[in-house]
Structure 1
Amino acid sequence: MSFAGALGEFAAAVDPPGAVRADVPTRILDTLGNALSAYAEKDADAAPAALTAMRRWAGVPESSVIGYGDRLPAPSAAFVNGVLAHSLDYDDTHLPSVLHPSASVVPAALAAAEAGAPGDLIAAIAAGIEVTNRLGMAGCDPETGANLYFERGQHATSICGTIGAAVAVARLYELDARRIADAIGIAASMGAGVLEANRTGGSVKRAHCGWAAHGGVVAATLAAEGLTGPPTVLEGRFGFFTAHTGRFSATFLDGLGERWELLRTVFKPYPSNHFTHAGIDCALALRAAGLDPDDVVSADLGVAEPVLRTIAEPPDEKARPRSGYHAKFSGPYTVAVALTGGGGLGVGLDDFASLDPRRLELASRIRVHADPAATAAFPRAFAGVLRVRTRSGAVLEHRVGSSRGGPGHPLSLAEVTAKFTTNATRAIPAGAAAELAAAVFSGASVSTLFPSRETLSRSAK
């Protein structure tokens, strides 16, 4: 059986176990909270641009746009909601694939379900996230730990997420295994995402998960209407893996349906690129131990070698990021944020609302290098070490083997719910946020998961 065929068989037949069924609502909750918070970020250009474009094209009002209250065709709503879900870089992360599955899969599934797709929403999202994660794992080099998608400048989140979103929507349409394999074959031609924005700025990365969600809805719909895909779309000579990784192994299918990679998808405690979290943890620990940031002469942040290109290069760009959003991908700036204060779970959204001159000056004195222990732990954990030299000549050091929220240190359900509440109440009243959380966990109708214009208006007042 082809790889797409095996994934189609899995998605068509899967009945997720209790632990997975219990986990999926937290994925929905986290995604909704991130999207509502992004909606409240009035200076963020990505979501308004996405919505304005979709409004121009209009169409059948099938599905809701989070926050704005618009109803658009399902692919268009999935696009805008996916942009919102990924805009703050606060979305969940799977290890070791190092991608963010929910920001593509959940918006696609919610849009299709609200538009009338009759299938099991929880099973559909579970299947879509599982496929996304496993395709991401297939890009991990077992010898070096490097992510082969990233090595080629590709964003695994959006490329794999398009296929995962298509699987979720196809399952919602209750397609059989052959048609789900077709949806995979179609979606493989729709996934895209170039990561240069991580290095030198631009807001297009925020749109990657939106495009993946859009592509997933379109691919599954086309499969339902009879369009077909190549059966060897993943492993073929001109297939997905040849194009995006240059290699493949069937091991990414090992334990499919028995060992759930979805359960290894961790929630972010900080709204920044996940590679920066070990440095944030170290800085917060040193601050808690009494370090005064005004006493810092210089600092060295040690992280895994493969992440340097994302959070440390080019050095001048990372020492002086171009915007608050760009700062989320800077090792030096995020350490400076953690040393000088922070909100939320230690570092919060307001810390990236604008660039702070004091933090920029401190970031200019922070260098980032490859640390052997962190490199050895990558990509199964984000480890790091921070060494700080003070005006007195003292050298202070703190090391973490796995960042907060990661393996061994997962956020509790209470912490994930608190994160949602903090995010959601930036856009809606506290009572409405509590009702929304209750609706997610009760399995209420999808149409109840989108705050009304009236609710949003009350919050604005």
Structure 2
Amino acid sequence: MSRATIVQQLATFAVSAREQGVGDSLRANTAQRVLDVLGNSIAALDTRPARAVRTLVEEWGGTPGATALGLPGRWPAASAALLNGTLAHALDFDDTHLPSVLHPSATVVPAALAVAESRNADGPALLDAIAVGVEIAVRVGMAGYDQELGSSVFFERGLHATAICGTLGGAAAVAMLSGADADGIAHAISIAASMGSGLLEANRTGGTVKRVHCGWAAHAAVTAAGLARTGLTGPPTVFEGRFGLLQAFCGEQSNPDAILDGLGEHWELPKVFFKPYPCNHFTHAGIDAALRLRAEGITADVVERLELGAPTAVLRTIGEPHADKIRPKSGYHAAFSGPYTVAAALLGGGGLGLFHQDFTDAAAANTDRLALAARVTCVADAHCDAIFPHQFPAVLTARLHDGRIRTARVDVNRGGPGNPLSEDELATKFRLNTEHTLTGLHADRISTVVFDLAKQRDLDALMSLLRT
């Protein structure tokens, strides 16, 4: 084959990043993502999916190698990645890339962290591998983005692109940390393409399996890279082939060029949005709009009804079925409800606006919140459609009992490049995420070590803090 295939070019990119480093700015950005994943994971330790996976990991046992959050000692890297990846995504608090709508760090960070620890990698190597893994994941996600449709083809087909693409990025990161050459990295990625999967039906009708998707993707990433290291091979045309990943998942609607366009020169990594609120990202602009109205003195008792305008494509997630969204079945389902999140924000929530206490089963059953949520109607908004999916905008219109109308429009999401969270805010988010598990001093020590990973000669200090 005279011309290098897509996966071969990705592997060359990974080797170059490992040899030359990705640079101080990208390493600093990546360190922020490590801290974000760890905080989200620690906050999720007592969730039902985490308990289920923890029980399974203990049943499996195996050769000690990596830290599994919430368990003593060390565990096989693949098992640690399974548990930590499950934790990272369990509360839907993980970062999001637009417009691919991927949550790349929740898979790539747990996979890379487990293998980096088991192989005694240093901080710079870990950060470079994660940066490359996230970059590959979101670029594959962009290959499944349909410009005319204005949406992810993966998503339109009910597929969880995060789990599918995250497996590939995770495998690349793990292979880098394992010392694989370009051929080995290419095989790890192409093997991983047979392993990533995930369906989104649980978002609509219930079930907790989605919370394990990133864990399984991280587990598969470690496994794929391990199989490549021990001699298994994958197809060189895994992306562009007749029976390759893009054709299989996206059909004729894929854009393979998006994977390689500007690779190594233009990075998607800094465009990945951090979440200030632990709920579906489509709800965030509505939350911010409600917070603005609240700051203007609008309270629930003066509101006759609320209209939440959003992009047409997101209404199926945050507005349908209407009966389920105005009365979510649980705290988890409340995190995917436009009416509930708007009501909770207007009534006043915790943390940076809304926080974990706003998404418990008890909070989702709160009569005041449900009464206000019942007055919320979700509608398509043309202005939001024009911006989506490069942002997830919203407009909230409050019609008051006295006949007045108040409107708040949010076009730029908080936590992204146009409205970023500062390093201090990310440290605050970590402290809030861990306040029921760690002392404030312990949390601050972890933040300090993570922000300093680019100078760490090993991961012992971080892992010691996490195990205690």
Q: Which residue of 1 aligns with 2:198?
A: 193
Which of 421, 430, 437 aligns to 2:447? It is 437
Which of 132, 138, 148 aligns to 2:153? It is 148
Percent of aligned pairs with the same residue? 52
Structure 2 unaligned blocks of 5 or more: none
Which of 252, 263, 278 aligns to 1:271? It is 278
Q: Which residue of 2 aligns with 1:217?
A: 222
Q: Which residue of 2 aligns with 1:353?
A: 360
Q: Compared with structure 1, are the counterparts of its residues 49 and 8 closer, same or farther at alpha carbon in structure 2 (3 Å cutoff)?
A: same
Per-residue deviation, 1:67: 3.0
Q: Compared with structure 1, are the counterparts of its residues 372 and 453 closer, same or farther at alpha carbon in structure 2 (3 Å cutoff)?
A: closer
Question: Is residue 18 of structure 1 aligned with residue 24 of structure 2?
Answer: yes
Q: Which residue of 1 aligns with 2:435?
A: 425
Distance 1:118 1:437 in 2: 19
Q: Which residue of 2 aligns with 1:68?
A: 71
Please list, as runs of the form range in 1=range in 2, the aligned pairs for 1:326-337 lying within 5 A after superposition: 326-337=333-344
Please list, as runs of the form range in 1=range in 2, the aligned pairs for 1:247-262 lying within 5 A after superposition: 247-262=254-269
Per-residue deviation, 1:93: 0.9
User: Does the residue aligned with 1:71 lie in a helix, a strand or coil?
Assistant: coil
Structure 1 range deviating more: 76-85 or 422-431:
422-431
Please list, as runs of the form range in 1=range in 2, the aligned pairs for 1:337-376 lying within 5 A after superposition: 337-354=344-361, 355=364, 356-376=366-386
Asked whether the equivalents of residues 24 and 126 of structure 1 are also in contact (C-alpha less than 8 Å), the reply is yes
Letter in 2 for 1:77: A
Per-residue deviation, 1:447: 3.6
TM-score norm. by structure 2 comes to 0.94
Which of 286, 290, 297 aligns to 1:290? It is 297
- After superposition, the C-alpha distances for 1:337-381 in whole angstroms (9 at most, x for unaligned) are 101111111111111122222111211111111111111111111
Distance 2:271 2:118 in 1: 30
- After superposition, the C-alpha distances for 1:1-28 in whole angstroms (9 at most, x for unaligned) are 1111111111111121221012111111
Per-residue deviation, 1:166: 0.2
Distance 2:100 2:288 in 1: 22
Asked whether the equivalents of residues 69 and 466 of structure 2 are also in contact (C-alpha less than 8 Å), the reply is no
Which of 234, 239, 260 aligns to 2:239? It is 234
Asked whether the equivalents of residues 132 and 164 of structure 1 are also in contact (C-alpha less than 8 Å), the reply is yes
TM-score norm. by structure 1 comes to 0.95
Per-residue deviation, 1:62: 1.0
Per-residue deviation, 1:143: 1.6
Distance 1:93 1:260 in 2: 15
Give aligned pairs, total.
Answer: 452
Q: Which residue of 1 aligns with 2:426?
A: 416
Structure 1 range deviating more: 196-205 or 444-453:
444-453
Q: Which residue of 2 aligns with 1:458?
A: none
Q: Which residue of 1 aligns with 2:61?
A: 58
Structure 1 unaligned blocks of 5 or more: 456-461
Which of 166, 172, 183 aligns to 2:188? It is 183
Letter in 2 for 1:248: N
Per-residue deviation, 1:66: 1.5
Question: Is residue 46 of structure 1 aligned with residue 59 of structure 2?
Answer: no
- After superposition, the C-alpha distances for 1:316-343 in whole angstroms (9 at most, x for unaligned) are 1111111001100011110011011111
Distance 2:301 2:79 in 1: 49
Once superposed, which parts of structure 1, at least 4 consecutive aligned residues long, lie more than 6 Å away?
Answer: none
- After superposition, the C-alpha distances for 1:245-270 in whole angstroms (9 at most, x for unaligned) are 12233133111011110010111111
Q: Compared with structure 1, are the counterparts of its residues 453 and 416 closer, same or farther at alpha carbon in structure 2 (3 Å cutoff)?
A: closer
- After superposition, the C-alpha distances for 1:223-275 in whole angstroms (9 at most, x for unaligned) are 11110000111111111111211223313311101111001011111110000
Q: Cα RMSD over matched residues?
A: 1.4
Per-residue deviation, 1:297: 1.6
